[in-house]
Every structure is written in structure tokens, then in C-alpha cells.
């Protein structure tokens, strides 16, 4: 074998190697990017406008977004506003206000919380996280902590 043949072979191997490598990267990189989503940062906001005072009649509740998590805003029968994390402490279902029973209720396994967020019946092992509620004009401001 002369030097020109050897050189041609090395060049061919190099080109084959890089094109195969590039093809593999072009195929698998998008698949890996899809399968491993970028890390999402937890909401850094500490307070949100959860709604308007006029949104809720006494003895009602509504779900609001606190960053990327749901929250539950309640106007009690006496007109007091309360807010909690709406994520059940059992298996993370979304809780709701039950005006007929005047409790916070989880439909998944009949979990029940009182209007202080304490788990009172069913499987939930812990109370709901309670938020602070303040009114600013007609806005209902919910704050963590
Ligand atoms: S997830 Fe709420 S009671 Fe099971």
C-alpha cells in the first residue's frame, strides 16, 4: 500500500466517523431534550391578587393560581376571607369548598378539612398550608407565610 492509499483511507474513515457521529447527535439530541425537560423554577412571587371581593358571595370558594400551584380562596358564611393551598396533603388532588357542609373537601378519597385548614376526616395526614389574606380596595391579596 502506498502513502496515498493510506492517506485516502484515513480521510475516508475520518469522514465516515464524523458523519455517523453527527447523524447520531442529530437524531438523539432532540429526543433527549424532549425526555429531560428543563428545570422549572418554583414561583418566587410571595403574594398574588386572588380575585375581587365581588367575585365571592358569603359561603363560597374559588380556585386561584399562586404561581404554578393552585390555591383555594374561601369567603365564609360570616363574610371572612380565608386562603389555603388547594393541594390535598394526601395524594395531591385539588381540594374544593363545600358550601353545604361548610368544609374544605377532597373528592379523591373524601378527605375533609375545617375552615382553619385542619384535617378532620378521611386520609389526609396533615393540615393544608394557610395563607394570609388582605384586602386592598376591591382586590383580595393572598400572601404566603
Ligand atoms: S388526595 Fe385528597 S383525600 Fe386522597
Helix (H, G, I), strand (E, B) or coil at 47: strand
Give yes or no for residue 123 CB within 6 A of ligand 1: yes
Give yes or no for residue 108 CB within 6 A of ligand 1: yes
Give yes or no for residue 61 having a pLDDT over 90. yes
Query: How confident is the model over 83-114, as pLDDT tens digits?
Result: 999 999 999 999 999 999 999 999 999 999 99
Residue 141 makes CB contacts below 8 A (sequence gap 6+) with 47, 48, 49, 50, 133, 134, 135
Give yes or no for residue 62 having a pLDDT over 80. yes
Q: How much is the mean pLDDT over the chain?
A: 90
Give yes or no for residue 106 CB within 6 A of ligand 1: yes
The model's confidence at residue 1, banded by pLDDT at 50, 70 and 90, is low
Ligand 1 site-directed mutation target among 107, 124, 126, 128, most atoms within 8 Å of CB: 124
13 compared with 64, residue with greater pLDDT: 64
Instruction: Name 102's bridge partners.
Output: none
- DSSP label of 43: P
In the sheet where 111-113 sits, what is the strand order?
Answer: 96-98, 103-106, 111-113, 119-121
Ligand 1: atom nearest CA of 95 is 2
Give yes or no for residue 121 CB within 6 A of ligand 1: no
pLDDT over 70 percentage in the chain: 94
Q: Do residues 141 and 45 make contact, with C-beta atoms less than 8 angstroms apart? A: no
Give yes or no for residue 125 having a pLDDT over 80. yes
- Write down the number of H helices and E strands in the chain: 1, 10
The model's confidence at residue 24, banded by pLDDT at 50, 70 and 90, is confident
Amino acid at each position: 500500500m502506498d502513502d496515498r492509499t493510506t492517506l485516502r483511507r484515513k480521510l475516508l474513515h475520518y469522514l465516515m466517523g464524523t458523519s455517523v457521529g453527527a447523524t447520531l447527535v442529530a437524531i438523539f439530541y432532540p429526543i433527549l431534550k424532549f425526555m429531560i425537560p428543563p428545570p422549572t423554577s418554583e414561583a418566587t412571587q410571595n403574594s398574588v391578587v386572588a380575585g375581587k371581593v365581588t367575585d365571592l358571595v358569603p359561603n363560597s370558594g374559588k380556585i386561584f393560581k399562586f404561581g404554578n400551584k393552585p390555591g383555594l380562596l374561601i369567603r365564609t358564611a360570616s363574610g371572612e376571607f380565608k386562603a389555603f393551598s388547594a393541594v390535598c396533603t394526601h395524594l395531591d388532588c385539588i381540594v374544593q369548598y363545600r358550601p353545604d357542609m361548610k368544609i374544605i373537601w377532597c373528592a379523591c378519597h373524601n378527605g375533609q378539612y375545617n375552615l382553619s385548614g385542619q384535617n378532620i376526616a378521611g386520609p389526609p395526614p396533615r393540615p393544608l398550608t394557610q395563607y394570609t389574606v388582605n384586602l386592598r380596595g376591591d382586590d383580595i391579596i393572598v400572601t404566603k407565610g
